Amino acid sequence: MRFETKCVHTGVDKDGTFNSCTTPIYTTSTFYWDSLESHKGFDYTRSGNPTRSAMEENIAALEGGISCRATATGMAAITLVMHLFKPGDHIIAGDDIYGGTYRLFADVFTKWGITFSFIKMSDTETVKSAITPETKAIWIETPSNPLLNLVDIQAVTKIASAADSDIITIADNTFCSPYLQRPIEFGVDIVLHSTTKYLNGHSDVVGGCVVSRTEELAERVAYNSNALGLGCSPFDAWLVLRGIKTLAPRMEAHQRGAIALARMLETHPKVERVYYPGLESHPHHDLAKRQQDGFGGMLSFDVKDGRPVAEKVMLNSKLFLLAESLGGVESLIEYPESMSHASMTQEARRAAGITEKTVRVSVGIESPEDLVADLKQALDS
């Protein structure tokens, strides 16, 4: 099946009793056994649930993995992956990753004895030089949040495999979704998502997932997910599975609006710089064309004159809601300095290139003409 067909049909046809065209929600916490030794595949919803399994089957098929485990939040997915490591391990990550990921790494797991190097991941030589004998993983976020820098996925996986067979590569694919990018095809070992975002697409659920490329990793992830109790609820799984059915047409709509906005912003006198891989001026435009099937619905831009102008633009918009998160059908605008990346130190934000001028936009599925007109009037004001 092609991608759009998988979105609609994989994991859906599970009701043999009444032939429901949608996946049922199994809200039960426990399942009765047939005997002391056997049951029908599920015993307790923390360990597994038919609705959650249906969603996991769907996402694994879309990403090209052999297994998926769904979690209660996107941060729970990252936490699940981090439990593959132990004190003394070293992990390489980008310096411009999502603020919540940075906080978890820098403030929580460092206390467990895991060390991190936050580097410019777009430079493969910098990635090579950051590897130490203790390195166990390279954390890839591409495009990065919020500056839309790209990482050459295939180059990094080759670096990891050439350096040490024990180094695994992990990709956060939230910004692109599997519709636009499938890191496993480039050799990545683990792919994760905040399913809150594009996979769900309607801003009405929080969730995450971890997709594994190998049986060995799948078994470890599944064991830890059950042991830690990180699984998402059946209703949340049902909402995400419902949202995935329209992933393909939604991503096309997001992209149409994003490129229209990016082109307007690139010529506006109040805008200093636009961060969008779909623009020919973006330094990683050619890489985006090689490893992505489109340029996505996220963009950021720097305004001239800093925070006062940024604040006026965000508050004067009529269609862009001032809110964190991304990937929903409605357009959102936010200020990384005090919102999505406030958990990073100012020093870390500046090193990553996030300044008081930076504004991040999640482009919804509204009319591109309306979005352009609204953001333009906000800038003009």
Beta-carbon count within 10 A of 87 CB: 10
> How far apart, in Å, are the Cα atoms of 218 and each of 60, 87, 194?
11, 22, 18
Residues identified as active-site: 46, 98, 172, 197
Which phi and psi (to 5°) does residue 322 adopt?
Answer: -75, 95
Q: How far apart are CA 97 and CA 221, in angstroms?
A: 23
Query: To 5 degrees, how large is the angle CA 12–CA 15–CA 16?
Result: 130
State the alpha helices, DSSP H only, in the chain.
Answer: 3-9, 50-63, 74-82, 99-103, 124-130, 153-163, 177-180, 215-228, 234-244, 247-267, 285-291, 307-316, 346-352, 368-380
Q: Which residues contact 162 (CB under 8 A, 6 or more apart)?
A: none
Q: Which of 290, 297, 292, 318 is nearest to 378 (CA)?
A: 318
Which phi and psi (to 5°) does residue 176 adopt?
Answer: -95, -35
Q: Which of 368, 363, 374, 341 is nearest to 101 (CA)?
A: 341
Take residue 269 and report the two structure tokens written for it: 């006198």
Residue type for 162, please?
A: A
